[in-house]
Structure 1
């Protein structure tokens, strides 16, 4: 089924506009082309901002250097502040300041058809169906606001009168999250590795259970495994327990041979047992997460404590990322089971076995 993509092209060079327009017309005429495009052109940042305010676009292509000292950075800043829409830089200049997280196409290196199909792929990634300007979350929040919060505003005012500002904020957050959670059809039986972590971590300014830290001196990674109740801050902004439990995260190659030159069934089987957390009772697998964290195994046998003050000032440890709560619970459960395990007391088993055997034989 053919899908139409409306996009805003911010460009001040007429020949570039004509070239893009020709590419769009050619792609739209191609009978087997799944994607068709409708282009709106803005030659300066003022016109671009007006179009963004009045129209719905699937994506935006931006030339950074516009005439008269104008800059595409203005549009990028506006999109970052007010919109959730795919955008990319289409520029003849390879060095772009402060925009390295936005995809950049150098004009001489890409064909327009390739760029447009790439942008269509971003739109179709599934992200914007959920978190886009007109995605599920945005529409659900609007519905919650009008049909619950604002409809019952007098009740919310009464609640606010009995709570301080921080308590009220936490209440509204909990209430909103619980409603968004209802959007899930059911609990998933299978997760993707990317779901293991929270990134960016909105509350990474504090020390929380599941926070992964990098020891800046040794280069060793640790994970905070003090229970949440021990980390709750009191009125003096200190936790209940001053000393925080840290458990070392070891690299994959500590348990997986790196000498293999091919991926054998035995190697795959070994890795599968490790990542299922059923090979060694003292290990818990953590996936990698892009270039932020390489992953590894939490080793319950390598445990130490560090003071809350040391962990809070960022001089010795850097906070990297936080484990998602579902996995925090799983990790804490295995950690607790490991240290609560009770081995059977030793006996002289050969002697016991002989004694039982003698009784059985004599009874016949």
Structure 2
């Protein structure tokens, strides 16, 4: 007997409308009502809150978590202050959800905000914006789960609460003893300890199965680890002249920096950096993607960032650290995330440690 199809639960999207014009508010609600009549609108329902000035917006933000905000720049026609800039900056800095400025004063967006336009912060002219299309764009972002993950009561908070209640209690005596015995502040160590627990939660599904990873998880775009003194294992750099990509494979211990006993910067041991060329022109077949070739490692493409390619273990290049740090010669494009970097290093090491044996007859 065929099982009945389970109805998909309605997803409720919390939308903050920061707008003082009754006409524009009516336009929003008419578009939302029309959207709810569509097939997509039967699955995703917008719940709106209205704030007509800065004070009301602050009050709404303090009391409720939102997924998106549509913000007008100029909220009081008699005022020269563009309160929408203040509200937008606050949301992006403190509340971590996407903002769409919808205003007749787009040119008055704060210059610092203009420099950081991206998928989480966009601007549209009030007179020409297609609100229905804008609602569909918010759905596309919402489907990724990013707003549910990052909001104050989202998945990250859920994991942090579990780690606080169930795990930290087993190590707090140790951290406290450090502050007493060594008189040091273990803040960064405790932070790493907490994040390590969160990573453990994320490696398997709620059913206990190992999760499949996606191409964006392979990379750290806009590298987090940066230094004027060194580079890092797993950084991918581009030769500014030949436009070739290289992976830095030099051991981490040779690239380490720090401070010596006299408080002076400690420079890396490595004077030369080992680079592996990344072949972006090679035909990538099933064996290459599955890393079944011992001499290469597959790097997946990432839209608008990297076309993908093969790390060629046989194409080694040595370059001085000074040259690699020279931005006129090389640019650091992105880094390989730790989960994948370790496997590349292990496979590269194994490739050059192979000894082989003479062929046997009989």
Corresponding residue of 1:318: 331
Corresponding residue of 2:296: 283
Where structure 1 has 5 or more consecutive residues not aligned to the other structure, the ranges are 257-269, 347-351, 357-364
Structure 1 pair 48–28 and aligned structure 2 pair: CA distance change class (3 A): same
Asked if the contact 1:204/1:319 (under 8 Å) is kept, the reply is no
Alpha-carbon shift at residue 200 of structure 1 (Å): 4.1
Alpha-carbon shift at residue 178 of structure 1 (Å): 2.2
Asked if the contact 2:92/2:98 (under 8 Å) is kept, the reply is no
Q: 1:100 aligns with which of 117, 130, 135?
A: 117
Q: 1:11 aligns with which of 19, 23, 29?
A: 19
Q: How does 1:331-346 map to 2 (within 5 A)?
A: 331-345=344-358
1:84 partnered with 2:106: no
Structure 1 pair 344–157 and aligned structure 2 pair: CA distance change class (3 A): closer
Alpha-carbon shift at residue 224 of structure 1 (Å): 0.6
Structure 1 pair 297–162 and aligned structure 2 pair: CA distance change class (3 A): farther
Alpha-carbon shift at residue 70 of structure 1 (Å): 1.0
Q: 1:60 aligns with which of 53, 62, 69?
A: 69
1:173 partnered with 2:191: yes
Asked if the contact 2:163/2:198 (under 8 Å) is kept, the reply is no
Alpha-carbon shift at residue 271 of structure 1 (Å): 2.3
Structure 1 pair 165–200 and aligned structure 2 pair: CA distance change class (3 A): farther
Asked if the contact 1:149/1:156 (under 8 Å) is kept, the reply is no
1:156 match: secondary structure: helix
Corresponding residue of 1:265: none
Question: What's the RMSD between the two structures over aligned residues?
Answer: 3.2
Alpha-carbon shift at residue 228 of structure 1 (Å): 1.8
Structure 1 pair 112–227 and aligned structure 2 pair: CA distance change class (3 A): same
Asked if the contact 1:45/1:70 (under 8 Å) is kept, the reply is no
Between the two proteins, the alignment pairs up a number of residues equal to 332
Q: How does 1:1-364 map to 2 (within 5 A)?
A: 1-28=9-36, 33-66=42-75, 67=77, 68=79, 69-92=81-104, 97-101=114-118, 102-107=121-126, 110-145=129-164, 156-162=175-181, 168-184=186-202, 185=204, 186=208, 188=210, 190-205=212-227, 206-233=230-257, 235=260, 236-251=265-280, 253=281, 255-256=282-283, 271-279=285-293, 281-312=294-325, 314-345=327-358
Alpha-carbon shift at residue 196 of structure 1 (Å): 0.9
Structure 1 pair 211–136 and aligned structure 2 pair: CA distance change class (3 A): same
**In 1, Cα distance between the equivalents of 2:270 and 2:13?**
55
Alpha-carbon shift at residue 215 of structure 1 (Å): 1.9
Alpha-carbon shift at residue 239 of structure 1 (Å): 2.1
Structure 1 pair 138–233 and aligned structure 2 pair: CA distance change class (3 A): same
**In 1, Cα distance between the equivalents of 2:315 and 2:157?**
44
TM-score, length basis structure 2:
0.78
Alpha-carbon shift at residue 164 of structure 1 (Å): 7.3
Asked if the contact 2:14/2:68 (under 8 Å) is kept, the reply is yes
Where structure 2 has 5 or more consecutive residues not aligned to the other structure, the ranges are 1-8
Structure 1 pair 222–14 and aligned structure 2 pair: CA distance change class (3 A): same
**The structure with more radius of gyration:** 1
Alpha-carbon shift at residue 147 of structure 1 (Å): 6.9
Corresponding residue of 1:362: none
**In 2, Cα distance between the equivalents of 1:30 and 1:305?**
60
**In 2, Cα distance between the equivalents of 1:51 and 1:289?**
38
Alpha-carbon shift at residue 58 of structure 1 (Å): 2.6
